[in-house]
Structure 1
Amino acid sequence: MASPALTEQLQFFRALVEKVDNVRDEDLKLKWKLRFPHPYDDRIWGYPDDDVVTELLQPSDKYIVDETCKCVYVKDSSEGRDTANAISQAFQEITDAAIKANKFANVLHGRHSEKHSIAGAEEIEFERFTTPLLGLATKGVSVIAYELNPDLSFNFWVQHRGLNVFSPNMLDVTVAGCVRARQEPWDSIVEEAKEEASFTEKQLREHATEIEELTYYRRIPETGMLIFGIMYSYDMLLPEGVEPVPSSPEVTEFQRMSTQELIEAMKRGRFRPGANPLIIDFFIRHKIIPEDDDLVRRLHRPLPVPS
């Protein structure tokens, strides 16, 4: 039987995961469903917000709206010649229109963003900030760099985020970023690790180990919109003499923390919310905390959209 202290700690970790995995399967039954034409039919690709359907996805030459099943169908304006591009153009048009009209400014921030690809249909592209409008799945990458002490305790290298990024001045895992359009996760890891921590591809290949993907269903508190996440993550056991060095204004510094220091920082709310599940998963895999069925299930949920 778990001790009271361990029970309390696991409850705390579950609460942290709940902040980024806070949508129940039954909640999706009430949402609009985004569907694509052949050859992408028979699948749900996103769960757009009600206000987005009303404001941006009304029946047109780009969309069919079926209120009986709460389905929005993207039309193939290319008539089969280039379906992926037709879908990409339809998404771009609603993004352009929303920015021009200053709609959903708390999500789009009044500006364009880098292109991402649809998980499971990488030839279809959309702008990153459009993700919650359409309830799509987005792909991210991360690296947790750590050291193993002679007594088998851990030291972690933690990133201190810059002031001009999302979640400014907060702590994060060693490396974190997004998979942009036409990129493989490994290419993104190499790019982000070089840019943020000055790690070389050679160092990654020699010392980083890929782990099982993490997933989440997240409702954004401020808007109620949904996003689905797939995180391609790596553990990186650093050899003696190798440390991360900031090489981007997005990172202020790196801090070395013991396991207890890391947990205390989590308790103080110092970490970017999306970093906490990555750390908790590391703790479980490396037996820093016992395997907890609820945490494992929440960290590796099958997504309701292609991935």
Structure 2
Amino acid sequence: MLLALKIDVDTYRGTREGIPPLVAALQRHQAGATFLWSLGPDHTGRAIKRVFRPGFLSKVSRTSVVEHYGIRTLLYGTLLPGPDIGRRCAAQMRAVRDAGFECGIHTYDHIKWQDYVASKDQAWTLRELERARLRYQEIFGEPPKTHGAAGWQMNSHAYRWEETVKLDYASDGRGTHPFWPVVDGQRLNCPQLPTTLPTLDELIGVDGLTPENVHEHLLGLTADAPAHGHVYTLHAELEGMRLLPTFERLLAGWRRQGYQLVSTRRLFEQLDLARLPEHGVEMGEIPGRSGTLALQGKVRG
């Protein structure tokens, strides 16, 4: 019974302030995890244009964005220059690696990728991915082996890049179980381990769920363990800060349910790749999140 923890680190503040408490909590609960880093400038303030996206305002009102991210972060890239996370926080990132946790690429510029990649061409996509890859190698002294897309936003060029640079696996979308991605009719050789569980910001404020009881809902979803395990995505800005007590209740609950809490790499290493199904990838909506995102599509054959 494996439950993989995938930690998306979106912002400068999350890297500096959210990561140390998360690492300490994981160590207290003897949990592994994979940390996916934003490696370039923090331009969180530019997300203001999402105000016109259907469902965005209701999500903001439910999840207290100002409380979780802070006023300063919400001005980066607009009224304040965006700090370069990779330049300023390289030592903190290496410390996480040295503590025994897997690291990988989340993005170079989180807001830029999340807001534009779905409609961009090959040149734009590869430029952004290569910026992230080169910065990762500069920081860690080795090439990245995994990628988890910012905001679960992808396009066909990004999937092909993962195969081209020979990533071991990726976790770019939402779904129910690991699979080989099929893009434009072609099976690619970088398996996907999709996020299988809803995130806290998708649940809190819906149907009476609060930071104090949302763990009970999630533990209900994991009561019966699937053979392929689960992938849970958390955020340094949420579970590493104001929602840390909620996350610790989840960790304790999953341990009581009998799960081993592991990195996504550990889950990948348990897969029988020869028997992995092939699924298309598509963009679609899920409850609790505005806009469309990458989803596990229909099985091929």
| Greater RCO (CA < 8 Å, at least 6 residues apart) | 2
Q: Say whether the fold is shared (TM-score over 0.5).
A: no
Q: What's the TM-score once normalised by structure 2's chain length?
A: 0.24
Q: What's the TM-score once normalised by structure 1's chain length?
A: 0.23
Higher helix share: 2
